[in-house]
Amino acid sequence: MDYAVEMLGIRKEFPGIVANDDITLCLKRGEVHALLGENGAGKSTLMGILFGMYQADRGLVKVNGKEVRIGNPNVATKLGIGMVHQHFKLVSTFTVTENIILGSETRKGFVLDVKTASRRIEELSQRYGLNVDPYAKIEDISVGMQQRVEILKMLYRDAEVLILDEPTAVLTPQEILDLGVIMRNLIQEGKSIILITHKLKEIKANAHRCTVIRRGRTIGTVDVAATSELAMAEMMVGRQVTFKVDKKPAVPGAVVLEVDSLSVKNNKKCLALSDFSLQVRAGEIVGIAGVDGNGQSELVEAIAGLRKPESGTVRLKGEEITAMSVRGRIQRGIGHIPEDRQKRGLVLDYSIAENMVLEVYHREPHSRRGILNKLAIKQYAERIIASFDVRSGQGAASIVRSLSGGNQQKAIIGREIELNPDLLIAVQPTRGLDVGSIEYIHKRLIEQRDKGKAVLLISLELDEILNLSDRIAVVNQGERVGIVEASETDENEIGMLMAGVKAEGGEGA
């Protein structure tokens, strides 16, 4: 069999946890091979070993049939293995070419040979249908384009095996389709791809085979065309899963959040949200649908107190909070699951325990007269860890940086729900989560609603918006272009509104 990569019997232990336990993954040349596993199953660790970031404790790696020792990423690069990480590694003030040649520059005399490099990048870009401008600055191009630059970086270094770590998590629906085309172009040219993703639809659409791992062990490798999404999901979590959300009709009560004529500028000082009004009542979930970058982030930041609006007001339970501090808002009952878990959600070098009390460490029982009560904090964190199934090597004492992405997300959600807020703002709450965890988080959000809390849900996943929300507001270019009852709408109508076709139903905010 013609394998580009064989990973055989791989084992890797971290303090307190076996991240990979006898895992086998064989990548055929010219295939897209999905790697599927629940959060913390060990996918990133396995790929870290292939890319030379970690050393396996046991097992064998073969590239093109030959046993290799991949001591660091440079060795991986020389062996033709490239990786696009979830968080891109680009210098935003550099151009595309400068980023791509960084670390492997060629010179003419003392001068960097940017011209030849740009020409080669242009050729590669055309050959694989990437459409990247070598002279554009990274900060001026979209996230989707930046990802293509990462792909080009690998191709420039002659990678034959490309590892894509949850590549669609940051992409818009159109960009996801485009990436599918790019992957097809790559394999047509003989490249092989390992695709880490939680999205079964994408595996179905793009992958030939899929290896499923659970709790560090290989469950099996299946032929994707012959295996249903449900079957793959069940292999992954080891039990039956349902994709449908069960919920009773909402019983909305008093208005909890009232946003009135809010206008907010973005970092570039342009109006990102204009004259936006919305109400969220107790006992309902209001979803905000929109293509990424249409003012959702600015709306959330203005409500959470992270950004000052230009005009308009924000009220919580009747009280104006437009200019109130973040802590004041938290104390009055706002919980916030932020968009970027690493930048806004967590302090990565703190333990789980410390992260769980970031908003409440100054209150009893977590501290008294300025002295922290470590035991109370640990117990508080352990409760969240248990009820949200946050998996880590050393429980509450684990440093958050060492947690898998999905477990970091579960920790944040647990922390915010534990605050029992009157208004819970959930931004992309299930980004990077496996289907089992998504099911659980959805249940918990609905439970909040049924307890009479107001939930504002912002998500780029239309399915999530449609399944969870009671009402849906659609934003386009910072304006509210429609607000509809979730039970009376469908994907098509929301899609039209997202594209900017106005259809205000005459209903109030």
Q: Does residue 402 bind ligand ATP (CB under 6 A)?
A: yes
Mutual angle of helices 114-127 and 143-156, in 10-degree steps: 110
Q: For ligand ATP, which residue has the nearest CB?
A: 406
Kindly list the distances between the CA atom of residue 450 and the CA atoms of 251, 318, 444, in Å, as whole numbers in the listed order: 8, 21, 10
Q: Is 489 in the site for ligand ATP (CB under 6 A)?
A: no
The closest of 246, 244, 243, 217 to 230, measured between CA atoms, is 243
Shortest distance in whole angstroms from residue 505 CB to ligand ATP: 39
- Positions 10 through 29 that interact with ligand ATP (CB under 6 A): 14, 17, 19
Please state the length of the chain: 509
Kindly give, in sequence order, each residue whose CB lies less than 8 Å from that of residue 377, ignoring residues fewer than 6 positions away.
353, 354, 356, 357, 361, 366
Sheet containing strand 17-28, edge to edge, reads 17-28, 3-14, 58-63, 66-68
Instruction: Give the integer Cα–Cα distance in Å for 421 and 334.
Output: 5
Site pattern 243..262 for ligand ATP (x: CB under 6 A): --------------------
Binding ligand ATP (rule: CB under 6 A), the pick from 167, 305, 405, 436 is 405
Which segment (33-41, 230-238, 288-296, 341-349) binds ligand ATP by CB under 6 A? 33-41
Distance (Å, whole) CA 199 – CA 194: 14
Closest CB 218 distance from ligand ATP, rounded Å: 13
Q: Is 392 in the site for ligand ATP (CB under 6 A)?
A: yes
Q: Is the peptide bond before 252 cis (omega within 30 degrees of 0)?
A: no
Please give the residues from 41 up to 80 whose contact with ligand ATP meets the rule CB under 6 A: 41-45
Q: CB-wise, 146 or 437, nearer to ligand ATP?
A: 437
User: Which one of 406, 429, 436, 482 is in contact with ligand ATP (CB under 6 A)?
Assistant: 406
Residue 402: CB minimum distance to ligand ATP, A: 4
The one segment of 66-74, 280-288, 339-347, 404-412 that binds ligand ATP by CB under 6 A: 404-412
Closest CA to 418 of 391, 386, 393, 394: 386
Residue 402 near residue 313 (C-beta atoms within 8 A): no
Nearest CA-CA partner of 53 in 77, 74, 76, 72? 72
Q: How far is the CB of 35 from ligand ATP (least distance, A)?
A: 8
Q: Select 285 or 403, whichever has its Cβ closest to ligand ATP.
A: 403
Tokens representing 447 are: 């439970």
Strands (E), 199-248: 209-214, 217-223
Closest to ligand ATP by CB, 168 vs 469, is 168
Cβ at position 239, least distance to ligand ATP in Å:
18
**For ligand ATP, which is the closer residue by CB, 394 or 477?**
394
Binding-residue pattern over the window 469 to 488 for ligand ATP, x denoting contact by CB under 6 A: --------------------
Instruction: Please state the closest distance from residue 403 (CB atom) to ligand ATP, in A.
Output: 5
Residues that bind ligand ATP (CB under 6 A): 14, 17, 19, 37, 39-45, 391-393, 402-407
